[in-house]
Structure 1
């Protein structure tokens, strides 16, 4: 081989590892895809309800199609699926599209975390479940949940549980002035014959969630799963207890699950729809790094109108902000009653904005 001259026949090209098919950005149209609602997510598998309230309603297990990339599928999403949509045991469909979301409830781990976590999609209202005692209520958490709901364009309902242990008056007076509806529940004495305990006030909660998609959010141990079991009998959501030392509850829900409310005894009115409740895992913090103060202000229409017209650009609207017109608007009230009402609204708004900026320390 020494001194041998090489020619073209001695050159060997390594075969390409890429396929010979030309690349294309075109994707299948999936015109035969069926619509469904995501009711649960568990380690890359999605439980869907197809043909909701139709003649062929069925539960289907699905995976996410590769073409969706990193797009997250969350509880409450409306999706299109193809493949084996029979719902038979062992079948697996494929999610190929996520419909545009009407609302998105988000949170971050803390106020410095840039990564948003979607809690649920397409919900109408956020039900903040708070115990009046055991564990003690944390207004900082409630404020931040209210901010997140307003940012998502959702209504807010505050459900105060365990009113048999403490009065709801302070929290009711704190949140009703900012447009938060409040319902109160209390545990009754167990029935002597069956030993089962009832919840007084659950009918008001049932009326508030009827025909709507409602997200139940709260700390562990506040009675959230107990309410779900009362609203959707037979669900069997696990209930926990509060640690006597730490004052905190134990997680009993590990992932968000959408549960459909039963049809009332009187039936649905013409054109009516059955409601849903989405039970979420108990959480201990609610970061708001993704929330813009302007979105919070938009929930206070009277303050928003003044701020847009009279506040300087970049105004934080907090107490002491230079040239903020909201304080002058309070002082311009024509009488004492109007001034008190305006001041209460401004105080409530600033409390929420300060909760956005300060972190959940309460």
Structure 2
């Protein structure tokens, strides 16, 4: 049997793993450009590069892998790398999310542990509610107020369709808790009466609009931002509910002198508050925070809470007028507290929470 002569060409050396050590250090992205997120659509983000700057322009971006599951929402200030020109077919990458001044959250219901971030860096929450068609749901409004106060945001209650019902009851209900109220209605030729007052309340701020479907939220946005072209719908005559027309949140700049933004959100039928600590709710009522601090340990501050200092504070008022004012404040606080804690026998539609089957 003849043998074969081997040479160096027959030798195969297994490649090594290289001399470069693996590292978890990420690139610094020092050349990243700042941008404002204005919309989210199926993993793609509409952004304004150099917002309010001399080179402001729109672009499309995706989220970089290093951000993991961290959610990017309208209102976020982010850093971009890659192709940020905004030319057709280009795609930048979001590599950093800036610190958020405020974060508006909600949960699917009051037991859901998963928080859903709606928008970031908004100054005020505008709760849009129709006075009729569909009927106003006060507990839904209460829940929005609780979420806004928890997020450190102001609250503006915008009542629409005032030509169909009186606003007096709702104004009297929410004015004592520091909620500013504006009222609109349809005028001749479809014009919105009261729009100037709404503009004044939004001027120079970032406002997020929330409301049930069919309350006129998209109609209001189209009047404020003529180029928005947000779809509008009608209320179902049988269910009394509106049809969802907006499918995603989008930030829109309101024309005018001051930098004013509105963030339109899809119509909601639930606003869970599982993320809100009831103990923090008194912080929205500075005059009551000092009172509840004197309550016995474990006091719920509810109507039937024994030895609650809120009741003593009301009864200790120096005169009848002050007593009635204090009582209104306490009732407002307890109503919001009840909205956060929920009620087993409450109508879930009134509470603003859809029960799961």
Q: Same fold (TM over 0.5)?
A: yes
**Pairing partner for 2:229 from 236, 239, 249:** 236
CA contact (8 A) 2:222 2:228 kept: yes
**Matches of residues 291-330 of structure 1 in structure 2 within 5 Å?**
291-308=276-293, 310-330=294-314
Counterpart in the other structure of 2:242: 249
**Matches of residues 1-362 of structure 1 in structure 2 within 5 Å?**
22-190=21-189, 197-263=190-256, 268=257, 273-308=258-293, 310-358=294-342, 360-362=348-350
CA distance 1:56–1:333, change in 2 (3 Å): same
CA contact (8 A) 1:150 1:295 kept: no
Distance between the aligned counterparts of 2:114 and 2:36, measured in 1?
25
With structure 2 as the length reference, what TM-score do the two structures score? 0.90
Distance between the aligned counterparts of 1:93 and 1:356, measured in 2?
41
CA contact (8 A) 2:278 2:341 kept: no
Counterpart in the other structure of 1:6: none
Shift of 1:16: 11
CA contact (8 A) 1:126 1:154 kept: yes
Listed as ranges, the gaps of 5+ residues in structure 1 are 1-14, 191-196
Distance between the aligned counterparts of 2:15 and 2:321, measured in 1?
81
**Moved beyond 2 Å, runs of 4+:** 15-23, 312-315
Question: Aligned residues, how many?
Answer: 333
Shift of 1:188: 1.2
Distance between the aligned counterparts of 1:120 and 1:312, measured in 2?
37
Deviations, residues 251-302 of structure 1 (Å, cap 9, x unaligned): 1100000000112xxxx3xxxx411000000010100001111222101001
- The RMSD of aligned alpha carbons is 1.6
Shift of 1:20: 7.7
With structure 1 as the length reference, what TM-score do the two structures score? 0.89
Deviations, residues 135-156 of structure 1 (Å, cap 9, x unaligned): 1110010010010001001000
CA contact (8 A) 1:34 1:81 kept: yes
